[in-house]
Amino acid sequence: MERETGSRREAVRQAAALWVVRLGDPSCSAADRAAFEAWRDESHENEAAFEREAAAWARLDRLRAMRPGPVRLTEARPDRDLLAPERRLILPRFSRSPWARGMAAVTVAAVVGAGVMTFGSGTAYATAIGERRVVVLSDNSRIELNTDSKVVVRYRKGVREVKLVRGEAVFEAAKDARPFVIKAADAVMQADAGAEMAVRLRSDGAAVTVKRGAVALDPEPTERKDPVRLTAGVAAIYSSAGHRSRVVSDSEIDRALAWRQGAIALNGQSLEQAVAEFNRYNRQQISIADPSISGLRLAGYFQTTEPKSFVSAVTSTFPVRAFEDSDGAIRLSRRG
Amino acid sequence: MTQDDEHRRAWFRREILPLEPDLLAYARQFCRDGQTDPEDLVHETFARAIACKTWREIGNPAGFATRILRNCALDALRRRKVLTITAVADFDRIEPIDETPGAHMMLESREELRALADAIAELPTQCRRVFTLRKVYSLSPDEIAVRLGLSVSTVEKHLVKGLRYCSEKLGRRIGRKSKVDEGRSWSARRDHDAKR
């Protein structure tokens, strides 16, 4: 009798896995099915190996529970990096309550038709706390506004100018003869056609992350210096003290922009930073009553509109207790 | 006939497949001299178990699978040209796996979900993306090919690779504390030895 070897086992399992994938494909034909049955009838070894791979495939269907709720206004774009290692979930069950999805839908719907004001030559677009919105401009450029944000758009003959007045936004500059200029906190940026970047105002200055294309950043337009060129995958921070930039990975950019999917992605941030992040999106505010817990590090993927899920994840993971005041504010303190 | 085959396969899925981590731990004890691959023993055990036409009469699937595995191990031993003393001596000292019904529970659901997500996270980037779009977002291979600018056959290859990785990982995973404690000393457990 011939001795079985690992490579033979692997070859059989490999073939079985390919059949599982093929049969699961909606475009699988009757001929494929017949070929599969012929293969399976060849041996009980094939039959058992197929059952084994098929069982694993079926178990993996449970991953659908990881899918975040539909929150985008314009399109539901599947997030291919949802399960990237940097985004390990703390407690996945929290990310999908029907309540949260309902709320997100309501919030997005409420935005439509509200928050547009035209004055002079510019048009202002704004969001309230917890809202997001996508604005498509006349040249097909897009602006996606995060929570509690405001931009003023001024398109003139020689220039397309947008000013970030409050909060955070992603800008996608469409191709056009006129330059696309973004003003934010005293700085002026000129985006290449096709560029996509996020700008977030800080207490002093702003943070810029370039996702696609390139942007020329001039942090101090009054000084006569050459602008800094930021290319895709670069993040820069500027303030009155100066500016610095660094290279960031795609996944880091996706995490920073998780809000476009209605999520907050934490990857080692402190509890203090995480709480500040949640408070941007919710009227229900969280505070840390005990400084000794502010430094706890968190990782996970949360719905922006679900501070309570975040809080229960924190209290079940750390020695932290949550107390809800009569006005709804949540206070976190050390337990025990 | 086909109907009956389907019942037989369903029985295999339900009763035998979930035993894999335990069977693998059990198989390792027959392979202490490194001459046989324990995974091969489990693989062969599955092939022999699914072939059983009288499955309806089996009251204790774990005991049934254990006996098959033991026979596979014996056959592997007989096929060898050189027998080591330890291989034969070990044979009589191996404790059977826990045969009490219900001992082989699947992982608790939340833990399972996390284990699955962890497995996906360990895949190479492109493979992980293809797998995520297929299993989390239920996109078809055609749609994934368009979205990621790949050929359908490349998408298929990534899916096969991802599935193989996950099925191996799931097969090794034990959701509860294993009854087969490989760390225990051999002399201390003689009293409990299987006498078959």
Q: pLDDT grade, residue B194 (50/70/90)?
A: very low
Kindly report the average pLDDT of chain B as a whole number: 77
pLDDT digits (tens, 9 = 90+) for A61-98: 888 877 765 443 334 577 888 888 765 543 333 344 44
DSSP-derived letter for residue A284 is S
| Architecture in CATH of A262-334 | 3-Layer(bab) Sandwich (3.55)
pTM here is 0.48
* Sheet strands side by side (includes A122-126): A116-119, A122-126, A150-155, A160-166, A180-184, A187-191, A214-218, A228-231
How far is C-alpha A292 from the chain's CA centre? 30
| pLDDT tens-place string over residues B90-112 | 455 555 555 444 433 444 466 77
Overall average pLDDT of the A301-309 stretch: 80
Crossing angle between the packed helical segments B61-79 and B38-50, to the nearest 10 degrees: 120
What digits encode the pLDDT tens for the residues A118-163? 445 688 899 999 888 888 888 889 999 999 999 999 988 889 999 9
User: In this predicted structure, what is the pLDDT of residue B163?
Assistant: 95
| Domain chopping of chain A, boundaries | 2-114, 118-249, 262-334
Q: Write out the two tokens for A198.
A: 């996020």
Scanning every residue of chain A, which has its alpha carbon at the shortest distance from the alpha carbon of B157?
Answer: A18
A219-234 tens-digit pLDDT: 888 777 788 999 999 9
Measured CA to CA, the distance from residue A215 to residue A187 in angstroms comes to 12
* Distance between B48 CA and the closest CA of chain A, angstroms: 7
Strands (E), A62-205: 116-119, 122-126, 133-136, 142-145, 150-155, 160-166, 168-172, 180-184, 187-191, 196-201
Residue A226: the pLDDT is 82
Nearest to A83 by CA among B40, B151, B129: B129
Q: Which residue has the tokens 């098959």?
A: B68
Classify domain A118-249 at the CATH topology level.
Jelly Rolls (2.60.120)
Mean pLDDT calculated for residue range B23-50: 88
Q: Which residues contact A171 (CB under 8 A, 6 or more apart)?
A: A141, A142, A143, A162, A180, A182, A191, A195, A196, A197, A198, A199
Specify the range with the lowest mean pLDDT, choosing from A91-95, A150-154, A206-210, B26-30: A91-95
Within A1-91, strands assigned E span none
Q: What is the pLDDT of residue A281?
A: 92
The C-alpha of B40 sits at a distance from chain A's nearest C-alpha, in angstroms, of 6
Asked if B114 lies within 8 A of A89 by C-beta distance, the reply is yes
Q: What is the mean pLDDT of residues B30-42?
A: 84
Contact B167 A26 (CB under 8 A): no
Which residues are bridge partners to A171 per DSSP?
A: A143, A197
Distance CA A144, CA A124 (A): 13
> What is the pLDDT, as a whole number, of residue B190?
34
- Closest chain B C-alpha to A92 CA, distance in angstroms: 8
- B114 — pLDDT class (breaks 50, 70, 90): confident
Between CA B19 and CA B22 the distance in angstroms is: 5
3-state class (DSSP) for residue B8: helix
In whole angstroms, what separates CA B157 from the centre of its chain? 23
Residue of B53, B136, B156 to mutate for A, most A C-beta atoms under 10 A = B136
Residue B52 neighbours by CB under 8 Å, 6+ apart: B8, B58, B64
Question: Is the model's pLDDT at A19 over the cut of 70?
Answer: yes
In 3D space, the residue among A323, A266, A324, A325 whose CA is nearest the CA of residue A296 turns out to be A266
User: B92 to chain A, minimum CA–CA distance in Å?
Assistant: 23
Residue of chain A minimizing CA distance to B17? A52
pLDDT of residue B144: 93
The answer to whether residues A183 and A150 touch, using CB atoms and an 8 Å cutoff, is no
Suggest the residue from A83, A249, A309 to mutate for an interface test with chain B (most B CBs closer than 10 A).
Answer: A83
d(CA B137, CA A324): 36
| Residue A87 distance to chain B (closest CA, Å) | 9
Of the pLDDT bands very low, low, confident and very high (cuts 50, 70, 90), residue B83 is low
Task: Give the span between the Cα atoms of B8 and B50, in whole angstroms.
Answer: 7
Contact flag A1-B137 (C-beta cutoff 8 Å): no
Query: Chain B residue with minimal CA distance to A11?
Result: B164
Q: Dihedral sign for Cα A148, A230, A195, A179, please.
A: positive
**Among A18-22, A139-143, A196-200, A264-268, which is the least confidently predicted range?**
A264-268
pLDDT score of A168 = 97
What six digits make up the tokens of A13? 């399992």
Per-residue pLDDT band at B145 (split at 50, 70, 90): very high
ipTM (interface pTM): 0.81
- Res. B29 pLDDT band, cuts 50 70 90: confident
Cβ–Cβ < 8 Å for B184, B191: no
> Which chain B residues are within 8 Å of A20, Cβ to Cβ?
163
Q: Is B49 on the interface with A (CB under 8 A)?
A: yes
A81 contacts in chain B (CB < 8 Å): 128-129, 132
Rounded mean pLDDT of chain A? Answer: 82
Identical fold for domains A118-249 and A262-334, yes or no, is: no
Helix (H, G, I), strand (E, B) or coil at A246: strand
Q: Which two tokens stand for residue A7?
A: 């490579």
Q: Reduced to 3 DSSP states, what percent helix, strand and coil does chain A have, rounded to the nearest 5?
A: 35, 30, 35
Q: Which sign does the torsion angle of CA A184, A186, A192, A197 carry?
A: negative
Task: Mark yes or no for CB contact A78/B171 under 8 Å.
Answer: no
> For residue B87, what pLDDT is reported?
47
DSSP string, B35-90: SS-HHHHHHHHHHHHHT-TTGGG-S-HHHHHHHHHHHHHHHHHHH-SS--HHHHHH
Percent of chain A with pLDDT over 70: 85
